[in-house]
Amino acid sequence: MNVAFIGLGNMGGPMAINLVKEGHNVLGFDLMAENADKAKEGGVSLAASAEEAVATADAVVTMLPNGQIVLSVFDQLLGKAPKGAVFVDCSTIDVASAREAHKKAQDAGMLSLDAPVSGGVGGAAGGTLTFMVGGSDAAFEKAKPLFDIMGQKAVHCGADGAGQSAKICNNMLLGISMIGASEAFNLADALGLDKSALFDVISTSSGSCWSVNNYCPVPGVGPQSPADNGYLPGFDAALMLKDLKLSQDAAGQSGAVTPLGEHATKLYDAFVEKNGVGHDFSGIINELKGQKRS
């Protein structure tokens, strides 16, 4: 396939490179020269403009920072791509913007999918991402060969916006569970309980969860995780905060009651405000440990 890839940053660049490795013709564009140069080193051809990138594309993949930028790029490019091309937005954005992007694409005679990912930078590089996909059956079938290269699983979650809905529900739960895991290990520490012993209990008992089993916030316990690397980000706390805020925006718009999601958002907001970017979301264990019980 001829693939235009718009947004060649930490996630988009490796995803585009993986498509090139499997024989697709990828023409990429990024406003940041550093991102574009890294993608070029991996075999991605570069376009002089986003319009040039999509001119002959069968598929247009976007990986962009927020919904406002996605809608702006769709307005810029929908009239420049061949009719019937599939626009696959892999950004994590609000549900309302995702649905608006679908409408813009449909009005322009294009297929479209919202397809946010889980798996982080490592998953992008290794081609092991999970895609949560919203859109028509026809669009999903056209883009599925690309998903099969860029990830290990693509779940068609439903109609327009369903991919973004699934992403924010999943990541709200992830944020909550990481806080719960952190509290459990901090309590164990206060009680003088060996952390490895607690890991062995939780990972095989009713408290078992991904935040403990695969991404334990305690160094030296369980599989290798950012905790073993000074909490350098596998998934930056600022990105977790972004997803939690999206979940709370959606909860407010839909009338869903999410008290733990709301509280997790407040805790990560304070964590990011204090520490800025460059800290893994599991590092919240240290923030919680430093607090005094009222």
Active site residues: 167
Structure tokens at 118: 């889980």
CA 41 to centroid of chain Cα atoms: 24
> Under DSSP, is residue 14 helix (H, G, I), strand (E, B) or coil?
helix
Tokens of 121: 């930078």
Q: Which residues contact 66 (CB under 8 A, 6 or more apart)?
A: 91, 93
Tokens of 249: 């925006």
Say which amino acid occupies 179. Answer: I
Number of H helices, E strands in the chain: 13, 9
Q: CA-CA distance, 269 to 285, in Å (whole number)?
A: 14
